[in-house]
Amino acid sequence: MNLEVVMQELEALGKERTKKIYISNGAHEPLFGVATGAMKPIVKKIKINQHLADELYATGNYDAMYFAGIIADPIAMTESDYDRWMDSAYFYMLSDYVVAVTLSESNIAQEVADKWIASGEELRISAGWSCYCWLLGNRKDIEFSETKISNMLDMVKNNIHESPERAKSAMNNFLYTVGTSYLPLHEKVVETAMEIGIVEVKRDNKKSSFLNAYESIQKEVDKGKIGFKRKHVRC
């Protein structure tokens, strides 16, 4: 399947209601409004195709960019490839749920995510923290430095309330993910989340969100779900 055929198939799957939902979350034209589940039959035909993924991502069409993340080859992508994709990720659903997800399946995930967290750019910071969420929720605990993750918890505690809005949300997700998926620091993250308290995330033209990682972690503790790891990151 080539670019033109995939774009035609995606367009045929578009729904106006889904399109409106994506736009309300920050997407803009061009887009078709394709539900992610509806993409699976096309994914089965293509499987992994990095060249096609790059072509789709370069269209600037939100649905094509999302689909690109599913068929991309994370191992084949270089740091400059990920930076190029981030340059075009204009809102959080692309930075956190396409680029960060794809990066999390690469061998350079932590190295690149660390640079993004230190970048000072809102969506790169958000993508960096989100990448660690995908990593921690999927890979074995032994693949991470306990000291490094502990230092990252301190970074969140010291900076979350003054961080850009999308970064706040991703940092809060990091707390939750460490608390539920990374057993060595469960006790520390619970204490850290208690100290941080409620985090207000302001949103354009919408009411603020109030996040409480401590309460979210406790709900998972009550369900006996601590230590959860997902089998797959991408769809």
- Report if residue 217 sits inside a domain: yes
Query: Which residue range(s) make up the domain with 176?
Result: 106-235
Cα separation, 124 vs 174, in Å, equals 15
Amino acid letter, 201 = V
- Report if residue 80 sits inside a domain: no
Cα separation, 188 vs 184, in Å, equals 9
- Report if residue 202 sits inside a domain: yes
How do residues 115-167 score in pLDDT, each as one tens digit?
A: 999 999 999 999 999 999 999 999 999 999 999 999 999 999 999 999 999 99
- Report if residue 35 sits inside a domain: no
Establish whether the linkage from the previous residue to 30 is cis, with ω within 30° of 0: yes
Taking the model in full, what pTM does it have?
A: 0.95
How do residues 41-50 score in pLDDT, each as one tens digit?
A: 999 999 999 9
- Report if residue 164 sits inside a domain: yes
pLDDT value, residue 235:
61
- Report if residue 119 sits inside a domain: yes
- Report if residue 60 sits inside a domain: no
pLDDT value, residue 204:
82
- Mean pLDDT in the chain? 96
pLDDT value, residue 132:
98
| Structure-derived torsion over alpha carbons of residues 207, 202, 132, 101, reported in degrees to the nearest 10 | 60
Cβ–Cβ under 8 Å, residues 192 and 148: no
Query: Domain total for the chain?
Result: 1
Percent of the chain at pLDDT > 90 equals 95
Cβ–Cβ under 8 Å, residues 42 and 9: yes
Tokens at 207, concatenated = 């009411």
Q: Which residues does residue 203 pair with via DSSP β-bridges, in sequence order?
A: 206
Residue 229, helix vs strand vs coil = coil
How do residues 60-85 score in pLDDT, each as one tens digit?
A: 999 999 999 999 999 999 999 999 99
Question: pLDDT-derived band of residue 101, with 50, 70 and 90 as boundaries?
Answer: very high
- Say if residue 30's pLDDT is above 80: yes
- Report if residue 173 sits inside a domain: yes
Diameter of the chain measured on Cα atoms = 53
Percent of the chain at pLDDT > 70 equals 100
